[in-house]
Amino acid sequence: MKHIITIIITIIISLIITIHSAFALIDTNAETAIIIDSDTGFVLYDKKSDQKTYPASMTKIMTALIVFEKLSNGSLTLDDTFIVSERAWKEREGSSMFVEIDKEIRVEDLLRGIIVQSGNDACIVVAENISGSEETFSLLMNQMAKDIGLKNTNFSNSTGMHDDDNYSTAADIAKMSRYIIMNYPEYYHLFSETEFEWSGIKQNNRNPLLYKDIGADGLKTGHLSISGYGLAASAVNDGRRLIVVGNGFSTSQKRSQGTARLLNWGFREYTNLVLFKKDILIDNLPISMASQDTIPLTSLENIIVTISKARIKAVETEIIPINNLKAPILKGDVVATLKVTIPKSESQYFNLISNIDIDEAGYISSFFSFIYNLFANIFS
Task: Tell me which of 249, 270, 291 is where a domain ends.
Answer: 270
- 32 domain-assigned: yes
Helix axes 120-131, 134-147, angle to 10 degrees: 90
* Rounded mean pLDDT, 99-111: 97
Rounded CA gap, 18 and 12, in Å? Answer: 10
Pair (217, 325) in one structural domain = no
Q: Strands, DSSP E only, in the chain? A: 32-37, 43-47, 81-83, 104-106, 195-198, 201-204, 216-224, 228-237, 240-249, 270-276, 283-286, 294-298, 303-308, 316-321, 334-341, 348-354
pLDDT of 4 above 90? no
Burial letters 128-139, b for 16+ CB under 10 A, else e: bbbbeebeebbe
Pair (184, 294) in one structural domain = no
Amino acid 368: pLDDT: 53
DSSP 311: G
Q: For residue 93, what pLDDT band results from cuts at 50, 70 and 90?
A: confident
pLDDT of 343 above 70? yes
* Rounded mean pLDDT, 177-192: 98
Instruction: Tell me the CATH number at 151.
Output: 3.40.710.10
Q: For residue 205, what pLDDT band results from cuts at 50, 70 and 90?
A: very high
- 7 domain-assigned: no
Q: In terms of residue numbers, what domain contains 327?
A: 277-379
Amino acid 91: pLDDT: 84
- Dihedral angle computed from the Cα positions of residues 289, 295, 301 and 305, in that order, rounded to the nearest 10 degrees: 100
Pair (330, 233) in one structural domain = no
Rounded CA gap, 358 and 150, in Å? Answer: 41
Pair (189, 50) in one structural domain = yes
Residues 6+ apart with CB under 8 A from 367: none
Amino acid 227: pLDDT: 95
- 4 domain-assigned: no
Instruction: Dihedral sign for Cα 124, 130, 136, 138, please.
Output: negative
Q: Name the pTM for this structure.
A: 0.87
234-to-75, 201, 363 alpha-carbon distances in Å: 28, 27, 59
pLDDT of 380 above 70? no
Q: How far apart are the first and last CA of the chain?
A: 44
Query: Could you give the 3-state DSSP secondary structure of residue 98?
Result: coil
CB 223 within 8 A of CB 57: yes
* Rounded mean pLDDT, 41-69: 98
pLDDT of 84 above 70? yes
Beta strands 32-37 and 240-249, pairing class: antiparallel
- 203 domain-assigned: yes
Pair (300, 252) in one structural domain = no
Pair (222, 362) in one structural domain = no
Amino acid 21: pLDDT: 38
- 207 domain-assigned: yes
Task: Tell me which of 270, 298, 323 is where a domain ends.
Answer: 270
Per DSSP, helices labelled H in 43-119 are 60-72, 86-90, 107-115
Name the domain count of the chain.
2
Rounded CA gap, 292 and 234, in Å? Answer: 48
Q: For residue 232, what pLDDT band results from cuts at 50, 70 and 90?
A: very high
Pair (34, 126) in one structural domain = yes
Averaged confidence pLDDT in the chain: 91
- 31 domain-assigned: yes
pLDDT of 264 above 60? yes
Amino acid 18: pLDDT: 38
CB 220 within 8 A of CB 207: yes
Instruction: Tell me the CATH number at 292.
Output: 2.60.410.10
Rounded CA gap, 115 and 204, in Å? Answer: 11
Cα three-residue angle 338-344-350, rounded to 5 degrees: 15
Task: Tell me which of 270, 291, 320 is where a domain ends.
Answer: 270
Pair (136, 209) in one structural domain = yes
Rounded CA gap, 222 and 352, in Å? Answer: 42
